[in-house]
């Protein structure tokens, strides 16, 4: 980045450090912070949508829909996260390629399963072998987002289901007595009030999601954990900027990053809790009413 970085062998002290921290690999590593934040920004609302759908399904009066909602929550919550992450991504990727293989290569006469190998025709590959590198990276990232959303959506569904049950049934009955349909009472009475009950559980779920982002490393996405291990490892004399094992310092930087992110989240969630409690028949809402009188 700097002109004096052209010959690393002539650098010492602070000049060496500035060139080292601004070399090409570090600049790529800094973008991985954006990868983590983008994952959180996309996964959180997606998982919330999955959770809301699962909670509504679990409350349904139609038995198959209710079984689906309850089964989704029970199965995903009952499987260890790391097992689900490792299995689901591979299974989903192979399922998509199998469907494409059946549609695009009907004349294929070889078995798809060949021992431990999964072999499909070239046209069925996802993404295609000739696709640019960014396509492969985006595809892997989207698979990771979907996996995160399904897993955390199941936990969100359980939280939202409990929050819906916490809303006093007398209010729902009153709404129906005033002539509201079931759908109107859900969207105008139940949903607006359930968030204050759901927020503590959703807050914990958000913190767990933040701490789970290093699982991107297991899914093949080059996140900040990958780069901390890659850049912090011992570098010999064949490297432009050789150094001993600095992984401790890189992982300490990760510690600062995650603690800062969780602290910022705490502030935002606390303010959101105050806003949602305003006017509600809860302890926090009652405390706000007393404070204004």
Tokens encoding 86:
């490792």
Percentage of the chain modeled with pLDDT above 90: 23
CATH number, position 134? 1.10.3720.10
Expressed in angstroms, the distance from the first to the final Cα of the chain is 60
Least confident of 37-51, 92-106, 268-282: 268-282
For 117, the domain range is 21-292
pLDDT band at 266 (very low <50, low <70, confident <90, very high): very high
Mean pLDDT of the chain, nearest integer = 84
Tell me the pLDDT tens digit for each residue of 48-58: 999 999 999 99
Give the per-residue pLDDT at 234: 85
Provide mean pLDDT across the span 248-271: 92
Give the per-residue pLDDT at 279: 61
Q: Is residue 81 part of a domain?
A: yes
Distance CA 105, CA 200 (A): 51
Q: Is residue 94 part of a domain?
A: yes
- Looking at the 3D structure of the chain, how many domains does it have? 1
Q: Is residue 5 part of a domain?
A: no
Q: Is residue 12 part of a domain?
A: no
Q: Let me know if 42 is exposed, middle or buried by CB neighbors in 10 A (0-12, 13-18, 19+).
A: middle
Tell me the pLDDT tens digit for each residue of 188-220: 888 888 888 898 899 999 999 998 888 887 777
- Please check whether residue 265 is in contact with residue 206, taking contact to mean a CB–CB distance below 8 angstroms: yes
Q: Is residue 96 part of a domain?
A: yes
Tell me the pLDDT tens digit for each residue of 160-177: 999 888 888 888 888 888
Q: Is residue 2 part of a domain?
A: no
Q: Is residue 229 part of a domain?
A: yes
Q: Is residue 13 part of a domain?
A: no
Provide mean pLDDT across the span 20-47: 89
For the whole model, what pTM was predicted? 0.81
């Amino acid at each position: 980045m700097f002109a004096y970085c052209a010959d690393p062998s002539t650098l010492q002290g602070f000049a060496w450090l500035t060139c080292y921290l601004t070399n090409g690999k570090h600049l790529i590593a800094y973008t991985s912070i954006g990868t983590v934040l983008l994952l959180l920004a996309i996964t959180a609302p997606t998982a919330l949508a999955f959770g809301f759908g699962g909670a509504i399904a679990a409350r349904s009066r139609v038995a198959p829909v209710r079984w689906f909602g309850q089964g989704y929550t029970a199965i995903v919550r009952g499987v260890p996260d790391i097992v689900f992450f490792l299995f689901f991504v591979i299974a989903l990727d192979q399922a998509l390629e199998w469907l494409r293989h059946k549609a695009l290569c009907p004349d294929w006469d070889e078995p798809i399963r060949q021992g431990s190998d999964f072999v499909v025709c070239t046209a069925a590959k996802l993404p295609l072998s000739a696709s640019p590198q960014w396509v492969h990276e985006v595809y892997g990232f989207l698979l990771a987002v979907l996996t995160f959303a399904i897993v955390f959506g199941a936990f969100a569904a359980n939280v939202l289901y409990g929050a819906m049950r916490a809303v006093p049934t007398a209010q729902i009955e009153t709404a129906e007595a005033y002539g509201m349909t079931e759908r109107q009472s859900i969207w105008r009475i139940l949903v607006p009030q359930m968030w204050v009950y759901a927020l503590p559980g959703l807050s914990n779920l958000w913190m767990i999601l933040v701490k789970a982002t290093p699982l991107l490393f297991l899914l093949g996405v080059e996140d900040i954990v990958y780069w901390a291990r890659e850049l912090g490892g011992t570098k010999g004399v064949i490297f432009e900027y050789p150094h001993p094992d600095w992984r401790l310092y890189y992982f300490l930087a990760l510690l600062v990053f995650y603690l800062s992110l969780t602290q910022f989240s705490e502030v935002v969630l606390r303010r959101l809790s105050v806003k949602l409690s305003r006017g509600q028949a809860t302890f926090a809402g009652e405390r706000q009413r007393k404070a204004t009188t």
